């Protein structure tokens, strides 16, 4: 009888451990989903900045064409500097966009791995809960002895 109690206590402890692991994994998933949402927002902001930079370049190019047509060298010099500045900004925005995209992909991969881990832990918890339920129903229930024997021998 002590062996049965010991086996049941062992199963309860393992079920509790698996439940804690499951809860931790769920917490990590939620955190990573928040990080992914933040990265998605940052990606949208960077996309807007990229569109604005493209618009500024287009305006500068238009000004350059108009300056060439009007042959105003002073305006042309300022426009070239403006274009160079905008090109540098565009390069920076592109780098930021690439970094954010890479971070988002990594976060998505981590979330997928954690989803798999959570599913596995939930499945393990369900198995242990069923074993505990069978053990608590009593020795007169079918399958009780087989469950006890396999639990005590280390078989799952």
CA angle 36-42-43, nearest 5°? 85
pLDDT averaged over 10-residue windows placed end to end, the chain, 156 residues: 84 88 88 88 87 86 77 62 87 89 89 89 88 72 57 57
Report the C-alpha gap between 90 and 97 in whole angstroms. 10
The confidence score (pLDDT) of residue 81 equals 84
- Cα dihedral across residues 95, 96, 101, 103: positive or negative: positive
The confidence score (pLDDT) of residue 76 equals 56
Q: What is the DSSP letter of 107?
A: H
Report the C-alpha gap between 45 and 134 in whole angstroms. 55
Predicted TM-score of the model (pTM): 0.39
């Amino acid at each position: 009888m002590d062996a049965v109690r010991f086996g049941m206590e062992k199963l309860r402890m393992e079920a509790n451990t698996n439940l804690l692991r499951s809860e931790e994994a769920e917490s990590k998933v939620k955190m990573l989903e928040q990080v992914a949402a933040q990265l998605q927002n940052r990606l949208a902001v960077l996309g807007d900045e990229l569109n604005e930079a493209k618009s500024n370049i287009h305006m500068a190019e238009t000004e350059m064409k108009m300056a060439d047509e009007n042959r105003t060298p002073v305006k042309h010099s300022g426009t070239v500097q403006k274009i160079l500045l905008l090109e540098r900004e565009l390069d920076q925005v592109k780098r930021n966009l690439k970094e954010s995209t890479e971070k988002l992909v990594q976060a998505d991969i981590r979330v997928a791995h954690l989803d798999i881990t959570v599913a596995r832990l939930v499945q393990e918890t369900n198995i242990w809960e069923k074993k505990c339920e069978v053990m608590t129903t009593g020795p007169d229930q079918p399958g009780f002895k087989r469950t006890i024997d396999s639990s005590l021998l280390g078989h799952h």
